[in-house]
Chains A and B, each alone.
Chain A
């Protein structure tokens, strides 16, 4: 567990760089994660993924299954990896401020 300072904002994060509290999410967080996840520029498609994830998480309390994410965004998994090289879990969920994926990973 660590505290991160970025562009004047503070974030509480875990070792893997996930936000400890979803409510700490803001746009500075996105800028920070961009530097960690190999994303040069945030396109509309990046934002769409982030928004869909947040919307689903707020409504359901969990992250969507990969297949559901593909359906909601109409992005194929391959394209999600083009947008987020670490993939939907480590990349997109982290950026959207969702809790760290768990289970037998």
Chain B
């Protein structure tokens, strides 16, 4: 028998999609029965009370969590999101309902052994409710009390060799697409770079020292499966600089409708779009018009290719990324608050990804940007806003990158152009009397 009546939530058990309500009810029941004999360290009925408080919010159309919450573990300035219910008498099980962020493995690959030990710990010291995963990437353990935080942290670090993720004005938990682990488009090993930089910048991740939050994300190619261009202050997107590799036999298999060569690897099989038409679906859709298909031969003028991925996405068995691979770095993506939403702007068109020197070329750019933003950034100013305030030119200066046409979508249309004094013959010091000698008042 459920602890609270939940008529609104019960509606959400209908329909085909996996119901979070059914799952929560199952978890509430598992805790009530406790067949494993777990010595619960937080209220046994906390999931019942969670359902109760959510039901109340459905009824009121308002949240019932208090403002903010500052809890954590010694040594770190982040990693735990404190939360308290504003109806603790009605729902004592969720009076404390803190969230712990746990740093996920790159690409989110797991063994059941690892997940079992994590869920056993969370059943014992938390609610048993999770979010797999938070939008930034972390494993999210949803709901525990303050005294359990150090206990969970101790077990994570001592027994599971597992650290917390980031929160606060610091480097948040980096995340990557699954990269070379199972994608033939990946231009670099996103997992290796993500893992390396996560380890390299542990201090920046755990102890807030920045004006505001800062995120890294790593995409293996411009398809951006981890959405780095929109969801990270520094976005690392794989690309190549030589030619697309063409297998002409395979191209013709696509053209001849070989069933083993469906366009887009069969992604549009759900609807009849007619037979594959290479002119219509590839050649004419190329954004730069740099492709031709004549006499059963596909040619690409790679000089004009912007590496948008379209042709490769349509004919993955025939077209492959080049061999000289690396990545582009884009900066400044952020959500609307305060000055409006931004996506990443291209800063470094191409940099090699070299694990042998610990990615020196990449860390140098990161650290130059941090030095600038930490010094100049205002309180709670994202990198994207500092770039708007001080100018893209300043970003180029601090990173030692020379301005190039690739840095803009189009040149400025207004003529409010600043010059440095030393660029202008004679400088800024002028004598008005000298001027008057030639121009009477």
Measured CB to CB, the residues of A under 8 A from B are 15-16, 18, 38, 62, 65-67, 77-78, 81, 85-90, 94, 100-105
Contact = CB atoms under 8 A, between A and B. Distances in A.
B380 A86 contact: no
B169 A66 contact: yes
B69 A16 contact: yes
Interface stretch (B78-86, B176-184, B396-404): B78-86
Interface stretch (B43-51, B208-216, B355-363): B208-216
Among A15, A18, A38, A100, residue most surrounded by chain B Cβ atoms (within 10 Å): A15
B374 A67 contact: yes
Contact of A65 (B66, B69, B84, B211): B211
A87 B82 contact: no
B68 A105 contact: yes
Contact of A87 (B77, B203, B210): B77
Nearest to B374: A67
Contacts of B208: 66, 87, 89
B74 A85 contact: yes
B77 A90 contact: yes
B64 interface: no
Contacts of A38: 74
Given A16-B70, A86-B72, A67 B209 contact: yes
23 contacts: A15-B66, A16-B71, A65-B211, A65-B379, A66-B210, A67-B374, A67-B375, A77-B209, A81-B75, A86-B77, A87-B77, A88-B77, A89-B77, A90-B72, A90-B77, A94-B70, A100-B68, A101-B70, A103-B380, A104-B167, A104-B168, A105-B78, A105-B168
Given A86-B74, A87-B72, A102-B67, 6 more contacts: A77-B209, A78-B207, A85-B75, A101-B70, A105-B68, A105-B168
A94 B81 CA distance: 17
Contacts of B69: 15-16
Given A16-B82, A87-B76, A87-B208, A104 B213 contact: yes
A7 B70 CA distance: 25
Interface string B161-180: 00000011100000000000
Contacts of B82: 15-16
A95 to B, nearest CB: 13
B167 A105 contact: yes
Contacts of B70: 16, 18, 89-90, 94, 100-101, 105
A60 to B, nearest CB: 11
Contacts of A86: 72, 74, 77
A101 B211 CA distance: 14
A77 B209 CA distance: 7
A77 B96 CA distance: 30
B376 to A, nearest CB: 10
Contacts of A66: 169, 208-210
Nearest to A16: B70
A105 B375 CA distance: 21
A46 B438 CA distance: 68
Contacts of A100: 68, 70
Interface in B190-214: 203, 207-211, 213
Among A16, A62, A65, residue most surrounded by chain B Cβ atoms (within 10 Å): A65
A85 B74 CA distance: 5
